[in-house]
Amino acid sequence: MALGWRRPGRAWAAHPATLLALGLLILNDHVLKARFPGPVTGKLSDVAGLIVAPALLAAVFRLAAGPSVLVVGTLFTIVKISGYAAGTVAAVWSAFAGPAVIVADPTDLLALPALVYAYSLGRRANRGPDLRVALVLPVAVLGLLASARADVPEATQVGVVGGEIVGQIGPVTTVATADGVHWREVPEEELSRVWLSQDWSVHRAVESAAEPGRRYRPDAGLGVQESLGGGEWRTIWHVTDGRRDFLARAYATSPDQVVTADVAVMGVGAGRVVVAADGRDGFAVAIGDGPFHRVGFPPTARFGGRDPAPLSAPGHGIAAELALAALAAWLVLLAGVQYATEGDVPGHTRGWQMLAGTGLLAVWCGFAGSPLLAPAALLFGATIVVLGLPMLLLTSLADGALPRSRALSVLGAALAGGLLVAAPFVGWSAGFPDTLGSAYLAAVLSGLTGLVGGVVAGAYGLPASAPAGWLRPRWIRPVRGADPTPPVRRPGRSTEDPG
């Protein structure tokens, strides 16, 4: 039985050379880069990816070899020469497939000749076994997604070795600082000396050799505690749980990965340097009696450098909550239309109402759900929202079900309701309120207020003389038998002629 996969271009993805490049891509990104970091393994991924990507594009979108190679080459070139483009692509990729790092590096353009070989494969691969192609496509998609996923840095341990504080980033990268300001990557030949020099158990209290009795340990969450002369422990630096939740969203991880795992202290001159390993947030450093400063990750060959995410950024990290606000605006709109029409809504208009709501719910699930389901949910939800919301209003006006005098009131109430729900979340992203739970509580109360506003706007609205002719363009005609200017109806009143 034919599976329908015997089409020109689709067998390209199942060509032995494409399969070999796919295997090399996966092996290089998950084994060789960790074992042998450097420019060779970096360029090897680019070459393999440029061989696999056009074949995958042709298979999914049924393109010929030429257009597929042209699209991949153009996008690759733009991303590698523009830092803004690289950051944009990385952000979009992260939203759909988890944390990803895409770096603008013009030297990667040296891999472009691989597209010539990919084009020759596409020209020759016109037929292939159905089953082989069907099995290869999912593997190729997952392989490309995995290749762009970030090898996420994580500061896990710190200690004092040979007059330096050394810190561990991930399983194979070690950095060191002698003053808390200047960092270096520890070369591989020094690693054995570093790791055999002391006990690397974490969550322990450490004592300053230069100041006996001054001890430090990780605080609960993200912070550091200090004890002087065997006295009580007191918190000297702490990031609130609300801001830690915000950082976790910035790093696309859970708050459990943004915690202080270890602390080290070393005497420097007449003072001291204290370094805390803070998981996905990197390192925090205090020099002498000064405050702690989050410094992120110093530059390394494997991870590059990365500054810490800000503790607040209005509007950032709240995509799921903004989708929830849009859903609340739809509920207000639905309630307003229901009261403005006294429930006399035609079946197809009610269908558009449900479709728009389903789309908004899918968008919210796309932002709040797992990365595996996010692409499908976002695509489905955004498509029917763009189609459903305008059709909801247009069909209501065209059918004469929604009095034009109240349409503006209902729209205004829906917009205000959505903004009321969104405001607490924007405030949380800006730092007030501090906890997300408080923002949700305020959003629920705001949403109820907006819902009441939608009911009032629909039931009473603007007077019938309000200018609202622009709300129904001339090309929208009412259905046969419908009154294009229906009388204003009040709840509990009949519009029929008593005579």
Please state the domain extents for the chain.
10-148, 155-296, 319-471
Cis, peptide link before residue 433, omega less than 30° from 0: yes
- Per-residue confidence (pLDDT) for residue 473, from 0 to 100: 37
Distance CA 494, CA 159 (A): 82
* CA distances to 187, 276, 302 from 306, in Å: 20, 16, 12
Nearest to 9 by CA among 62, 48, 50: 62
H runs (alpha helix) in 186-229: 188-195
3-class secondary structure, 468 = coil
Measured CA to CA, the distance from residue 45 to residue 105 in angstroms comes to: 13
pLDDT at 494: 46
Query: Two tokens at 464?
Result: 């019938």
What are the tokens at 192? 């054995």
Could you tell me which residues come within 8 angstroms of residue 374 by beta carbon, excluding any fewer than 6 positions away?
95, 96, 366, 367
Residue 164 DSSP SS3: strand
CB atoms inside a 10 Å sphere around CB 103: 13
How many Cα neighbours within 13 Å face the side chain of 66?
A: 0
How many whole angstroms separate alpha carbon 207 and alpha carbon 266? 9
For residues 285 and 275, the answer to whether their CB atoms sit within 8 Å is: yes
| 256 φ, ψ (degrees, to nearest 5) | -65, -20
Q: How far apart are the first and last CA of the chain?
A: 72
Cα(106)–Cα(371) distance, integer angstroms: 30
Please say whether the beta carbons of 92 and 169 come within 8 A: no
* DSSP category for residue 429: H
Q: Tell me the pLDDT of the chain (499 aa) as tens digits.
A: 333 333 445 677 777 788 788 778 877 776 676 666 667 777 888 888 898 888 888 877 778 888 888 989 888 888 888 766 666 666 666 555 555 566 667 788 888 999 998 888 888 765 544 444 444 555 555 555 555 555 678 899 998 888 899 998 987 788 999 999 999 998 877 877 776 665 555 556 787 777 888 999 999 999 999 999 888 999 999 999 999 999 988 887 888 889 999 999 998 877 899 999 999 999 999 998 899 999 999 988 777 788 999 999 998 888 778 877 887 887 787 777 777 766 555 555 555 556 555 655 655 565 555 444 445 545 555 555 565 566 666 665 555 556 666 777 878 888 898 899 999 999 999 999 999 999 999 999 998 998 888 888 877 755 444 444 333 334 334 434 444 444 444 445 444 444 4
Nearest alpha-carbon partner for 75 in 28, 115, 42: 115
Pairing relationship of beta strands 155-161 and 206-207 according to DSSP bridges: unpaired
Structure tokens at 268: 């420097």
- Which residues have C-beta within 8 Å of that of residue 483, sequence separation ≥ 6? 400
Note the pLDDT of residue 19.
78
- Given a contact cutoff of 8 angstroms between Cβ atoms, the answer to whether 453 and 413 are in contact is yes
For residue 234, the surrounding DSSP H or E stretch is strand 234-239
DSSP H or E stretch at residue 427: helix 404-430
Q: Are 378 and 367 in contact (CB under 8 A)?
A: yes
* 354, two tokens: 């449900």
